[in-house]
């Protein structure tokens, strides 16, 4: 019994039940398949998070985002007053998170790739793009660069899904994806 | 060496109980239940706020309550209970005096003071930083100090456990190897030491940072080390709860492990690999390589998952073998049908086993896939997953064993046996559906740790689908049911301790006497499956696992392209 010392002193010499051997074999094969899936998806899948990241001082990052916004601004959102920025196709798109907004609004073209830069000016934030449901952690002091290709068009909301303070639940942003 | 009058012999079970150990088990168990009540009330307040139609608390109180709920349940309740389990598994099961009871009392005092500090500073609103307290968000220094004191206390308690193992060996209080249950508890204690070391490495500098002595803590570094504590501490739970499953199988059925070698080997895999996997929380962070993420998140090629799947077969397998030996041999499942479903020790344990596997285990592995985490990270799916592990797995297993341990320690009859019969079902099914509906809502993108999914005060609005609202409402309804189950447990335990009748002489619980030599002879015939029912259940589990895993890959493949 499991609450007493094993009856057989040399318990490691006991034979193993056949059902156990079979199950261990099955479970081991399944473990190896699962382990192989992640590298496999890196080679042939379309959804892998980039590992490209740089240390960055928040103020310096903020200046980069503002410079890009000034250069590629195409309008202003009436409700929020946020600039709408249309980065060059294939080029760099910058976004920052700070308590409690995502800045600026980006306008992307469906089917085109962008190098999206993400960082935070203060707390940790959660970039959660809805309703497509892409979730990426955004740190201060780290600039994360990923290549993103929207495959659907419309208006998408960025919700903050890392607790960042008392106004966390009003922290939203937008990405618009246009067909052309 | 030890005065005999320091021991009593339990009339029901025949265990010799070291009285100083008994007192320590009692205080730790009582502290655990008190913090389950406190943490549970905060949990219910959180649930009633996230139920959109109720939306009970204002934002500041919601984030306060959420921090308290996480701290009290994930840390305080489980660790106090585990300390009691460690003392039981060493002192009672090895028939040995507890090492240094004075130090054990010091451990208890430190844990209690730490827990009270943390709770005080959270409740006055100075530490609404969530249980994880990610820098650069800053809490009152007393919060970090409380957690550190609690951890030091827990570390001393682990030391008392190891000391007791040494004494038992030296004084030859048992023959041969330590029992499997004690072995499992030892694995929990080893993981606990690793966990607490990680906690010290990050919480001490953070405490210094909160008072201005240290000027900067890297947010990524903080997260990596913090989860060395945060994730591993849940692996203490896994090891402890599996040791409890084995213990209950032995106590109720006289079950012996199918093979000691396999079960102990699986526990050994836990020691080697289970405490990694902090990367489960870091899969969508910048600045970490995919190689690290893949290796760490898979517990080194899923070898710890393999270990859990082995326990998933051997625990019910041991019960099946014992039941078949008693003659419940008809068909595949007579052994299970004729199990004591009205006994909360059994029903709680078996529900814990099944729900932990299906709701906690499968989802944990799936969301721990580097790429699949992109569609799950920080959504309320994560919350659903760990209610599948910590609530219906660990907490339910602890509840189940309490129905044996509390009457045993206090020598009292259980009060309200009728309610006790239903309690595991109320809690298990209630919290099980909470987990399911939270995961459903998370799949639709609903964020965790979020006060208002309707974004009423946000400048840029967003509407979640009606289905997401429905899921959150259902999660709210079922958390009320689960809370009633938890409250019933607390009432029964407190009632038994305070008002229970002294135990009657006639043993009601089947005595776990050492089986005779004839009984321990192997049963069944060589070459056939000896536990066919369990094997079929295991195949159902594996099929569900494979299907669920690939359904999530399918969801992922429909996402925007990223590289």
What are the pLDDT digits (tens) for B173-231? 999 999 999 999 999 999 999 999 899 999 999 999 999 999 999 999 999 999 999 99
If DSSP codes are grouped into helix, strand and coil, which group holds residue B37? helix
The 10 Å Cβ neighbour count of residue B531 is 28
β strands within chain A, DSSP E: 53-55, 73-76, 83-85, 92-98, 101-103, 105-109, 114-120, 125-130, 134-138, 142-149, 154-160, 172-178
Q: Closest Cα of chain B to A27: distance in Å?
A: 6
Chain B residues within 8 A of A42 when measuring between CB atoms: 290
Residue from B378, B404, B548 to probe the interface with A (highest A Cβ count within 10 Å): B378
Whether A17 and B259 lie within 8 Å, measured CB to CB? yes
Residues A43-60 have a mean pLDDT of 96
Give the residue from B349, B516, B417 showing the smallest Cα distance to B339: B349
Cβ pair B455, A172 in contact under 8 A: yes
Q: Beta strand pairing status for A92-98 and A73-76? A: unpaired
Query: What one-character DSSP code corresponds to residue B131?
Result: T
Cβ atoms of B389 and B364 closer than 8 Å: yes
The position carrying tokens 């321990």 is B520
How far off is chain B from A4, nearest CA to CA, in Å? 5
- Beta-carbon count within 10 A of A67 CB: 11
CA distance B478 to A149: 40
Inter-chain residue contact B306 with A113, CB threshold 8 Å: no
pLDDT on residue B514: 47
Q: What is the pLDDT of residue B4?
A: 64
pLDDT, tens only, B466-525: 999 999 999 999 999 999 999 999 999 999 999 999 987 654 444 444 444 434 444 433
Q: Give the integer Cα–Cα distance in Å for A134 and A159.
A: 10
- Average pLDDT over chain A reads 96
Q: Please state, for a pLDDT cut of 90, what percent of chain B lies above it.
A: 90
Query: Which pLDDT does position B524 carry in this prediction?
Result: 38
Concatenated DSSP letters of A148-162: EE--S-EEEEEEE-S
**The pLDDT value given to residue B276:** 78
User: Per-10-residue mean pLDDT for chain B, 563 residues long?
Assistant: 75 90 98 98 98 97 98 97 98 96 98 98 97 96 97 97 97 94 97 92 96 96 94 93 97 93 95 84 95 91 94 96 93 96 98 98 96 98 98 98 96 96 98 98 97 96 97 98 98 97 66 43 48 96 98 97 95
CA B424 – CA B399 distance, rounded (Å): 8
Contact B447 A46 (CB under 8 A): no
Minimal C-alpha gap between B225 and chain A (Å): 16
User: Cβ contacts (< 8 Å) between B136 and chain A: which residues?
Assistant: 122-124, 140
Q: How far apart are CA B333 and CA B463, in angstroms?
A: 48
pLDDT 10s digits, A79-114: 899 999 999 999 999 999 999 999 999 999 999 999
For residue B19, the model assigns a pLDDT of 96
A99 touches chain B (CB under 8 A): no
* Number of Cβ within a 10 Å radius of residue B479: 26
**A87 touching B, CB under 8 A?**
no
A99 to chain B: nearest residue by CA?
Answer: B137
Distance separating alpha carbons of residues A124 and A42, to the nearest angstrom: 27
**pLDDT cut 90: percent of chain A above it:** 91
**Distance of alpha carbon B460 from alpha carbon A155, whole angstroms:** 11
The stretch A112-124 carries a mean pLDDT of: 98
Beta-bridged to residue A69, according to DSSP, are: none
Q: Which of A26, A31, A139 sits opposite B285 (nearest CB)?
A: A139
Find tokens 């696992």 and name the residue.
B545
Q: Assign 3-state DSSP to chain B and report helix, strand, coil percentages, each to 5.
A: 70, 0, 30
**What stretches of B130-212 show up as alpha helix (H) in DSSP?**
141-170, 180-210
In DSSP terms, which residues pair with A178 in a beta bridge? A109
B232: Cα within 13 Å, side-chain hemisphere: 27
DSSP secondary structure letters along A109-136 = ETT--EEEEEEESSS-EEEEEETTTEEE
Q: Write down the residue that tokens 């994880």 correspond to.
A: B132
Residue the block writes with tokens 């993420």: B293
Give just the sign of the alpha carbon dihedral B341, B347, B349, B353: positive
Decide: helix, strand or coil at residue B416. Answer: coil
Question: Is B355:B430 a contact under the CB 8 Å cutoff?
Answer: no
Interface mutation target, options A90, A145, A163, A174, chain B, most CBs of B under 10 Å: A163
Q: What length does chain B have?
A: 563
> Residues 6 or more apart from A40 whose CB is under 8 A from it?
none
| Separation between Cα atoms, residue A121 and residue B355, nearest integer Å | 42
- Best of B243, B449, B460 to substitute, by most chain A Cβ atoms within 10 angstroms, is B460
Measured in whole angstroms, how far is the alpha carbon of residue B431 from the centre of its chain?
Answer: 14
Q: Among B93, B310, B448, select the one facing A3 at the smallest CB separation.
A: B93
Test B458 with A171 for CB contact under 8 angstroms: yes
Yes or no, beta carbons of A139 and B250 under 8 Å apart: no
The answer to whether B377 contacts A150, with C-beta atoms less than 8 Å apart, is no
Q: Taking Cα atoms as reference points, which of B127, B117, B188 lies closest to residue B154? A: B188
Which 3 state secondary structure label does DSSP give B441?
helix
Q: Is B510 exposed, middle or buried (0-12, 13-18, 19+ CB in 10 A)?
A: middle
Tokens describing residue B229? 């504590």
């Amino acid at each position: 019994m499991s609450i007493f010392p094993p009856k057989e002193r040399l318990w490691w010499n006991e034979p193993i039940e056949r059902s156990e051997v079979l199950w261990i074999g099955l479970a081991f094969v399944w473990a190896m398949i699962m382990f192989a899936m992640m590298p496999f998806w890196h080679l042939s899948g379309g959804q892998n998070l980039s590992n490209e990241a740089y240390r960055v001082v928040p103020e310096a990052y903020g200046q980069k985002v503002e410079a890009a916004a000034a250069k590629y601004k195409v309008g202003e959102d009436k409700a929020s007053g946020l600039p709408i920025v249309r980065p060059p196709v294939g080029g760099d798109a910058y976004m920052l998170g700070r308590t409690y907004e995502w800045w600026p609004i980006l306008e992307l073209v469906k089917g085109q790739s962008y190098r999206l830069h993400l960082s935070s000016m203060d707390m940790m934030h959660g970039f959660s793009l809805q309703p497509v449901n892409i979730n990426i952690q955004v740190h201060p002091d780290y600039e994360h660069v990923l290549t993103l290709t929207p495959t659907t068009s419309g208006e998408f909301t960025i919700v903050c899904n890392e607790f960042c303070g008392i106004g966390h639940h009003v922290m939203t942003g937008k990405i618009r994806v246009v067909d052309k | 060496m030890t005065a005999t009058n320091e021991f009593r012999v339990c009339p029901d079970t025949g265990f010799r109980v070291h009285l100083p150990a008994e007192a320590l088990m009692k205080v730790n168990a009582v502290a655990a239940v008190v913090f389950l009540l406190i943490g549970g009330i905060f949990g219910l307040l959180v649930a009633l706020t996230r139920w959109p139609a109720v939306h009970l608390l204002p934002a500041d109180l919601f984030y306060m309550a959420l921090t308290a709920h996480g701290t009290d349940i994930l840390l305080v309740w489980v660790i106090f209970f585990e300390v009691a389990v460690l003392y039981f598994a060493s002192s009672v099961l090895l028939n040995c005096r507890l090492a240094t009871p004075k130090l054990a009392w010091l451990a208890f005092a430190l844990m209690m003071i730490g827990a009270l500090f943390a709770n005080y500073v959270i409740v006055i609103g100075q530490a609404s930083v969530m249980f994880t307290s990610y820098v650069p968000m800053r809490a009152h220094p007393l919060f970090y100090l409380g957690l550190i004191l609690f951890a030091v206390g827990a570390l001393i308690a682990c030391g008392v456990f190891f000391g007791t193992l040494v004494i038992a060996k030296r004084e030859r209080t048992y023959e041969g190897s330590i029992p499997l249950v004690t072995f499992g508890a030892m694995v929990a204690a080893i993981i606990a030491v690793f966990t607490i070391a990680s906690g010290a490495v990050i919480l001490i500098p953070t405490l210094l940072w909160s008072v201005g002595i240290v000027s900067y803590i890297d947010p990524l570094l903080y997260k990596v080390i913090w989860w060395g504590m945060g994730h591993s501490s849940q692996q203490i739970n896994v090891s402890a709860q599996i040791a409890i499953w084995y213990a209950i199988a032995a106590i109720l059925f006289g079950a012996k492990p199918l093979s000691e070698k396999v079960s102990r080997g699986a526990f050994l895999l836990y020691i080697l690999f289970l405490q990694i996997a902090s990367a489960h929380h870091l899969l969508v962070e910048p600045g970490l390589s995919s190689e690290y993420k893949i290796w760490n998140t898979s517990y080194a090629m899923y070898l710890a998952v393999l270990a859990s799947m082995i326990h998933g077969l051997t625990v019910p397998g041991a019960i099946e073998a014992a039941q078949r030996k008693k003659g419940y041999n008809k068909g595949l499942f007579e052994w299970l049908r004729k199990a004591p479903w009205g006994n909360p020790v059994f029903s709680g344990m078996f529900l814990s086993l099944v729900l932990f596997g299906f709701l906690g285990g499968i989802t944990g592995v799936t969301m721990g896939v580097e790429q699949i985490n992109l569609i799950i990270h920080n959504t309320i799916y994560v919350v659903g997953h760990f209610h599948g592990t910590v609530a219906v797995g660990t907490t339910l297993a602890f509840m189940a064993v309490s129905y044996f341990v509390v009457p045993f320690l206090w020598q009292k009859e259980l009060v309200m046996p009728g309610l006790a019969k239903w309690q595991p079902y109320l809690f298990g099914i209630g919290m099980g559906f909470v987990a399911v509906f939270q995961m459903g809502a998370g799949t639709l993108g609903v964020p965790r740790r979020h006060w208002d999914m309707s974004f009423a005060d946000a400048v840029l609005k967003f509407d979640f689908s009606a289905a997401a609202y429905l899921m959150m409402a259902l999660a709210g309804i079922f958390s009320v049911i689960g809370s009633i189950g938890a409250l019933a447990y607390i009432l029964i335990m407190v009632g038994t301790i305070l008002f229970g009748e002294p135990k009657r002489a006639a043993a009601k619980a089947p005595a776990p006497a050492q089986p005779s030599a004839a009984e321990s002879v192997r049963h069944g015939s060589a070459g056939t499956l000896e536990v066919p029912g369990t094997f079929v259940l295991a195949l159902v589990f594996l099929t569900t696992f494979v299907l669920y895993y690939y359904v999530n890959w399918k969801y992922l493949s429909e996402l925007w392209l990223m590289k």
